[in-house]
Amino acid sequence: MVNVLIKIALLLLLILSGCATTSLPPITSSTFATLEEDEKGLWRRSEEEQRIINRSGLIYKDEELENYLNEIARKLTPPEVLNYIQFKVKVIKNPYLNAFSYPNGVIYVHTGILARMDNEAQLATLLGHEITHITHRHAVRTFRDIKNKTAFLATLQVSLAVFKDDIIREIVNILGVIGTIAAVSGYSKKLETEADIEGFKLMLNAGYDPYEAPKLFEYLKKELEDEQIKEPFFFGTHPRLQERIQNYNSFLAQLQYPNVTKNTEVFLQKTKNVILDNAFLDLKAGRFNMAKRGAEKYLSIKPDDARAYYLLGEIHRQKGEKDDSEKAKENYEKAISLDPSFPDSYKGLGMIYYKQGEKALAKKYFELYLSLYPKAPDKAYIEEYLKTLQER
């Protein structure tokens, strides 16, 4: 953490000498000519930070999905901006609700937030917001603003005071300075509101249903409240979500827009794999209810998928509370009925019966598992269970 603070302080001091204006025209403005020198520095720094993210193994690889997200970003982007910035949307394997952008046009969206959206209009709301951070040069304005304040270090400490949790401190190390401000602490209220307003206009101009904008954040807020989850990121913090809902509702009160689209079906088809993969990530993180909702949402799009039933089985087996064993068995059995060649459900059943002392059934399912998956990575455990069952 100290290391990160030093890096941030040095970066700011090095790239921002003198008192610079924070009032810069957006790239969309006719008065915009070229990037400022310190802004170019931020772009170079952004590329370095992105290299770390891109080689970290955190990028979710789905070319079709990436193309789709980039297509929506292009649809939202004012044409004049494309002369200066090539937007690129990438997905990060992370179940937490977040998205963030770098000043050079790269936007990262977590699988967590993507999996919880309902339609393209909600996606457009999110991307419109992030695109505005870029076109309105919020990164350089933020860095200049911090530098211009007399109590420079105090301001820095306040802006980083959110990093109380270990998990956030460690994320800070990976994201780097620019990514941290964009992803974790967020920009000032003024700049976030600007991103809400301008982003909202972008989604409206592209023909999306404006009533979907606040819905996205209402769902997120409700989910966080239901689960009593404190998301460590900007999108998940309650006051910010509340402010954002209010922002959108006040725009909606003033406007009327007919002939708008949500593109629900296309969106769900394109994102269905993310929904299931993210549910597995939620399970890893021990967020059982969220994982279950993800699996059920996936099944509502693709009802006969053995992997989703297997996941439901795993959620119940690993949760291990009252009635969970029976629910796990039902789901594993459903997965087997849909795809008898999918081995993992046999293992799940074997483990439950093994713990319940049902020797014959445990043996049957473990043997089936190994026959379908002779090189299973957990073969040694299964062989040990079978040996124990033989001895008993």
Partner 1 sequence: MRKLPLIALLFIIGCIPTPPWSKVGGQYFDDSQNFYVELPKGWKKSNRVVYLLLTRDGVLLQNIMITRMDIDAELKYTKKKLKRDMLPQEVAEVIIDDLTSNPNILNFNLIENIPAKISGHQGFRLLFTFRNEEGVKYKSVYYGFIAGGKFYGIRYTAAERYYFDKDIETFEKIVKSFKLLSEET
Per-residue DSSP letters for 370-384? HHH-TT-TTHHHHHH
Per CB under 8 A, 5 contacts partner 1:
no
Q: How far is the CB of 235 from partner 1 (least distance, A)?
A: 16
Pick between residue 9 and residue 59 the one whose CB is nearest to partner 1. Answer: 59
The span of 16-24, 106-114, 359-367, 377-385 binding partner 1 (CB under 8 A) equals 377-385
Measure the N-to-C terminal CA separation of the chain; round to a whole number of Å: 53
Helix/strand number for the chain, H first, E second? 18, 3
| Cα–Cα dist 176/47, whole Å | 11
386 binds partner 1 (CB under 8 A): no
Cα dist from 87 to 59, 90, 101, 129, 134, whole Å: 17, 10, 10, 13, 9
Confirm if 177 and 11 have CB atoms less than 8 A apart: yes
Output the CA torsion sign for 124, 126, 129, 131.
Answer: negative
For partner 1, the closer of residues 55 and 392 by Cβ is 55
| Interface with partner 1 (CB under 8 A), residue from 157, 226, 265, 381 | 381
Confirm or reject binding of residue 170 to partner 1 (CB under 8 A). Answer: yes
Question: Looking at the DSSP assignment, which residues form a beta bridge with residue 128?
Answer: none
At its nearest, how many Å lie between partner 1 and the CB of residue 50?
14
Does 285 contact partner 1 by CB under 8 A?
yes
Phi, psi (deg, nearest 5) at residue 205: -60, -30
Neighbours of 166 (CB within 10 A): 10
**Cβ atoms 367, 332 nearer than 8 A:** no
d(CA 205, CA 213): 13
Is 171 a residue that touches partner 1 (CB under 8 A)? yes
Q: Choose the binding region for partner 1 from 245-253, 258-266, 277-285, 357-365 (rule: CB under 8 A).
A: 277-285
CB 36 within 8 Å of CB 84: no
In the window 100-159, what residues touch partner 1 (CB under 8 A)?
none
22 vs 318, which CB is nearer to partner 1? 318
Q: Report the nearest approach of partner 1 to the CB of residue 162 (Å).
A: 15
Question: For the window 204-243, what string marks contact with partner 1 as x by the rule CB under 8 A?
Answer: ----------------------------------------
Q: How far is the CB of 291 from partner 1 (least distance, A)?
A: 11
Calpha distance 329→340 (Å, rounded): 15
Give start and end residues of each alpha helix (H) in 32-165.
37-54, 63-76, 111-116, 120-135, 138-148, 152-159
Q: For residues 37 and 321, which CB has a smaller minimum distance to partner 1 in the complex?
A: 321
Binding status of residue 286 toward partner 1 by CB under 8 A: yes
Q: CA 72 to CA 66: how far, in whole Å?
A: 10
Cα 8 to chain centroid, rounded: 25
Stretch that binds partner 1, among 104-112, 182-190, 338-346, 379-387 (CB under 8 A): 379-387
User: How many whole angstroms separate alpha carbon 364 and alpha carbon 45?
Assistant: 57
How many residues bind partner 1, per CB under 8 A?
27
Q: Which of 29, 54, 157, 173 binds partner 1 (CB under 8 A)?
A: 173
Does 166 engage in binding with partner 1 (CB under 8 A)? yes
**Listed ranges 53-61, 203-211, 213-221, 329-337: which one lies at the site for partner 1 (CB under 8 A):** 53-61
Backbone CA torsion sign across 165, 170, 174, 177: positive
Per-residue binder mask for partner 1 (CB under 8 A), 322-361, x = binder:
-----------------------------x--xx------
Residue from 56, 67, 157, 250 in contact with partner 1 (CB under 8 A): 56
Residues of this chain that interact with partner 1 (CB under 8 A) are: 52, 55-58, 94, 166-167, 170-171, 173-174, 283-287, 318, 320, 351, 354-355, 377-378, 380-381, 384
